[in-house]
Amino acid sequence: MAEHHRLAHHQRPAADTQSIRELFRMGPTKSQVVVVLTLLPVGAILLLLAGLTLAGTLIGIAVTAPLFVIFSPILVPATLLIAFAVTGFLTSGAFGITALSAISWIVNFIRNMRGASLSEQVDHAKLRALETIGYLGHRTKEAGQAIQDKAHDEGRTHEGGRTREGTRATTTTT
C-alpha cells in the first residue's frame, strides 16, 4: 500500500510545498539508491582517467618541448617535405582522375557519333561558329553606332560656343 501511495504521489504534479516536504521525508527509492551506487564508481573512475590523461599530457609537453626546440632545424624542413609530398600526390591523383574523365568523355562522344559522319559533325560545328561570329559582328556594329550617336548628340549641344542652357562657353586662347 505504501508503494502504491508513492507511485500515486509521483504521478501527480507537486504544486504545493506540503507534497515536496513529504517527498523529502520519504527518502530515496530503492531504484534511486541502486543508480547512485552504480554511477558513483563509474564517475570516479572516469574522473581519475581524465586526471591521468591531463597529467600525462602535461608531462609529455614538458619532455618534448625542449626536443622540438633542439631538433627544429631538422623537423621543420622534414614537415615541409612531407606536406609538399602529400600535396603532390593529391594533385597528381586529381589530375589523373581529370584526365581519365576527359578520355572517357571523348570515347563516349566518338561512340555516339557513329550514326553521323565526321564531315557532317565538322560542317555543323563550322555553321555554329559562323553564326556566333555573325551575331558578335552585329552586336559590335550596334555598340559602335550607339557610341557614335552619343558623341554626335554631345557635339550638337556645344555648337556655336553655346551650351544647351544658352550660356556662352568660355574658351581660352594662348
pLDDT band of 79, cuts 50, 70, 90:
very high
Tell me, rounded to whole angstroms, the distance of Cα 136 from its chain centroid.
38
Average pLDDT over residues 31-48: 88
- Length of the chain in terms of residues written: 174
Query: Which tens digits make up the pLDDT trace of 4-32?
Result: 555 555 555 545 677 777 767 777 788 88
pLDDT band of 149, cuts 50, 70, 90:
confident
Distance of CA 44 to CAs 39, 86, 138, Å? 8, 43, 83
- Which residue in the block uniquely carries the three cell numbers 555516339? 112
